[in-house]
Amino acid sequence: MRDPAAFHREAVEHLRSQVPGRAIVATSGGIDSTAAAVLSQEALGDRCRAIFVDTGLLRLHEVERMQTLFAASHLRVDVASAGDRFLSALAGVSDPEEKRRRVGETFIRVFEAEASRFGADTLIQGTIAPDWIESGGSLRDTIKTHHNVGGLPKDLKLRIVEPLRDLYKDEVRTLSIHLGIPAPERQPFPGPGLAVRINGPVTAESLAAVRAANAVVEEEVEKHIADGSLPRPWQYFAVLLPVPTVGVQGDNRVHGKAVSVRIVESSDAMTATAMDVPMALLRTIAERITRELAGQVTRVLYDITDKPPATIEWE
């Protein structure tokens, strides 16, 4: 982008002419949707409400982290707490693509409900060019949903406005620097969240377990990043495997589940390498997860598979 100030001016004018009434803007905390929200609030003022959906599928303290980030971007964002809604939409579903579809659909239903409460007929999204080019020219055709808001249902009740739809990622970065949006170093996190970090059906118990295990992985890896003993990985997380596995607790044999720890290096997620991390780090992670989730998790594995042949996520 040669002139972010010119893009900024034109986008604000364009939003004003495209949205005569009220709009909601979908913010995920990512750089694209944050930039779209900043432009929208500037263009529409009180006619625009930014919404962050708490899906209940987020990591520990993620809502608070997002609120700090939004505040630093001078964004006013309302949190829509929809954990129960997502949990019931996912009940009994094991197929990963079906999980993605249901999460995407539930996002849209939550946005429709929020829009209706606010009297808005328009949904503003931070879709950028690769999102719709990769999905065959139109977001409506998306099948594999590598987006925060997955395939849009055909009966969508909202008009969609996408102020960034012609931009590429590096252009959004330039624009967000111009807009004063901070860009903390953060690992990618899938839109369907912890739902795709649980192999098998998502329940309140499995969500709590994977969230706690994931927090241990993040904390321990981040300690090593902070003291310089580990370069920042591309992604580092826990996956809950529904494999019954035996452990010992005192004099008893207990059956729990397994947790797989994934720590990968990558530059673009197209390929990835399982990271050669210190064994002491893995031992600490295993010790903490089996202790903090005693009775629920009896075994911790380190995934040493590269991409390809594996993918970064387990499903």
> What's 141's DSSP letter?
G
273-274 vs 252-265, strand pairing mode? antiparallel
Of the two residues 42 and 313, which places its CB atom closer to ligand XMP in the complex?
313
- Radius of gyration over every alpha carbon of the chain, rounded to an integer in angstroms: 21
- Render 94-114 in DSSP notation, one character per residue: --HHHHHHHHHHHHHHHHHHH
In 3D space, the residue among 281, 283, 303, 279 whose CA is nearest the CA of residue 291 turns out to be 283
Rule CB under 6 A: which residues touch ligand XMP?
100, 145-148, 188, 190-192, 235, 269, 307, 311-313
107 CB-near residues (< 8 Å, 6+ apart)? 26, 53, 55, 148, 149, 150, 191
CA nearest neighbour of 277 among 235, 233, 238: 233
CA–CA dist 210, 107 (Å, integer): 22
Q: Count CB neighbours of 186 within 10 A.
A: 11
Burial of 66 (0-12, 13-18, 19+ CB in 10 A): buried
Q: How far is the CB of 148 from ligand XMP (least distance, A)?
A: 6
**In the block, residue with structure tokens 């925060």:** 148
Closer by beta carbon to ligand XMP, 59 or else 159:
59
Quickly tell me which residue has 């580092």 as its tokens: 236
Q: 291 — phi, psi (to 5°)?
A: -80, -50
Q: How far is the CB of 292 from ligand XMP (least distance, A)?
A: 24
- If the CB atoms of residues 103 and 120 are measured against ligand XMP, the closer one turns out to be 103
Nearer to ligand XMP, 109 or 146 (CB): 146
What is the length of the chain?
Answer: 315
Of residues 11 and 58, the one with the C-beta less far from ligand XMP: 58
Q: How far is the CB of 102 from ligand XMP (least distance, A)?
A: 12
Between residues 145 and 298, which has the closer beta carbon with respect to ligand XMP? 145
In angstroms, give the least distance from the CB of 69 to ligand XMP: 17
SS3 call for 242: strand
Comparing CB distances to ligand XMP, the nearer of 148 and 260 is 148
Tell me whether residue 46 or residue 268 sits nearer to ligand XMP (CB atom). Answer: 268
Min separation Cβ 244 and ligand XMP, Å: 25
- Shortest CB 98 distance to ligand XMP, Å: 12
Q: How far is the CB of 100 from ligand XMP (least distance, A)?
A: 5
| Count of alpha carbons within 13 angstroms of residue 302, beta-carbon side | 18
CB of 191 to ligand XMP, least distance (A): 4
